[in-house]
Amino acid sequence: MEKKLQSPKWTTIYGFLLPGILLYLFIVLVPLAVAVYFSFFKWSGGLNKDFIGLHNYVQLLQDRKFWFSFRNNLIITLLSIVGQLGIAFALAVVLQSRWIRFREFHRTVLFLPVVLPAVVVGFIWNLIYSQHYGILNGLLDSLHLEGWIRPWLDNPKIVIYSVTVPIIWQWIGLYLIIFLAALQNIPEEIYEAAEIDGATGLRKVFSITLPLMYNTLKVAVMLCISGNMKIFDSIYVMTGGGPGISSTVMAQYAYTTSFGQFSFGYGSAISIGMIIISLGLILLSRRLMGGRAFE
């Protein structure tokens, strides 16, 4: 009986896995393969396709706009790693401490933005940033900081930072929950032992909390990179990639190339480029973070 429980028949295993695998196959792998196929063509939609081999990829490597949008993705990712993970970690530590009240309430409120659709987030922040009616400029005005008032979404030099703030704001809650779960796995005894040794506040955070949840942190960084490499919707709603291309990210560039210019072949090549770059960055982050052993 026991033995049977431990190793069910392989048909049972695959039977249960099958629906998931099929779904994954059709909504991820097949489209991916099709995109790879299309990326070898010059194709404007419709019936006529010209096979042009690797030409799209050669073009991609020399495409200033693509690398510019990659730069934008990098900025967003770096700011998010610092902002989302940093703030989430700080909040998690605070929420875990003994003196905090209404813990559930704080957790729920902080998690709320995560469940908002990105389009809604885009619209909300569009209103916040609005030049004439926006709450941000209104607030600055009432604080007599008129010098700080800016056309937040209209200045190409700052627009990429303006669109990053909502992204950071939205996803703090997710990492907060992940970190809280990790924190709860750290045995209380270790802290007690440390306290007996005279460790306080920050000392405990850096010597106990951080090392013990390092693996979770690694996963969080990976999620953060993959999430931000494919970021699209909230920026699309807020600026549409503008002014010009100054807030265009890779996904938006692939989108406008495909659906704005009818270059489906090149658009597919951009998407494949995105995947390769994202995978590269994730591998790089693993290499970098795995190299330092805390344990």
Partner 1 sequence: MRKRMALLAGVLLFVWALSACGTGGGQKSASGGGDSTASGGSSAGAGSSTTTIKLTLFDRFLETDADGSVIAHRQMIEEFKKEHPNVEISEESLQDATYKTKIKALAAGQELPDVFEMIGSDAEMFLNNNLIKPINEFLESDPEWKDGFIPSTLNDFTINGVVTGAPLTMLTTSLVYYNKAIFDEVGIEKFPETWDEFLSAIETLKANGYIPIALGNKDKWVAESCILSALGDRYTGTEWFYNLKNRQGAKFTDQPFVDALAALQELGMAGAFNSDVNSIDNGQHKALYYNKKAAMFIEGDWAISVLAMEAPQDVLENTRLAILPSVNGGAGSPAASSGGAAWSIAINANLEGEKLEMALELVKKLTSPEKARVMAEHNSVAATKTPDYDESKVVPLFKEYLDLSDRIALSPIYDAHLPPAVIETMNNGLQALIIQAITPEQLAQDIQKTFEELT
**Residues in touch with partner 1 (CB under 8 A):** 44-48, 126, 129-132, 151-156, 238-246, 256, 258-264
59 or 216, CB closer to partner 1? 59
130 or 285, CB closer to partner 1? 130
179 class by beta-carbon count within 10 Å (0-12 exposed, 13-18 middle, 19+ buried): buried
259 or 294, CB closer to partner 1? 259
Nearest approach, Cβ of 262 to partner 1 (angstroms)?
6
86 or 151, CB closer to partner 1? 151
Cα–Cα distance for residue pair 201/81, rounded to 1 Å: 24
Using an 8 Å Cβ cutoff, are 258 and 268 in contact?
yes
Nearest approach, Cβ of 214 to partner 1 (angstroms)?
41
Q: Which two tokens stand for residue 70?
A: 């990659």
The gap between the terminal CA atoms of the chain, to the nearest Å, is 40
- E strands within the chain? 41-43, 49-51
Q: Is the peptide bond before 211 cis (omega within 30 degrees of 0)?
A: no
Nearest approach, Cβ of 277 to partner 1 (angstroms)?
22
Nearest approach, Cβ of 260 to partner 1 (angstroms)?
4
The string of DSSP codes covering 67-109 is HHHHHHHHHHHHHHIIIIIHHHHHHHHHHHSTT---HHHHHHH
14 or 259, CB closer to partner 1? 259
37 or 206, CB closer to partner 1? 37
Nearest approach, Cβ of 4 to partner 1 (angstroms)?
21
Nearest approach, Cβ of 45 to partner 1 (angstroms)?
4
Cα–Cα distance for residue pair 104/277, rounded to 1 Å: 39
Cα–Cα distance for residue pair 155/142, rounded to 1 Å: 22
Burial 196-225 (b: 16+ CB within 10 A, else e): eeebeeeebeeebbeebbeebbeebbbbbb
Q: Which two tokens stand for residue 30?
A: 């097949």
Nearest approach, Cβ of 239 to partner 1 (angstroms)?
7
77 or 256, CB closer to partner 1? 256
Nearest approach, Cβ of 134 to partner 1 (angstroms)?
9
113 or 242, CB closer to partner 1? 242
Q: For residue 147, what is the DSSP state?
A: G
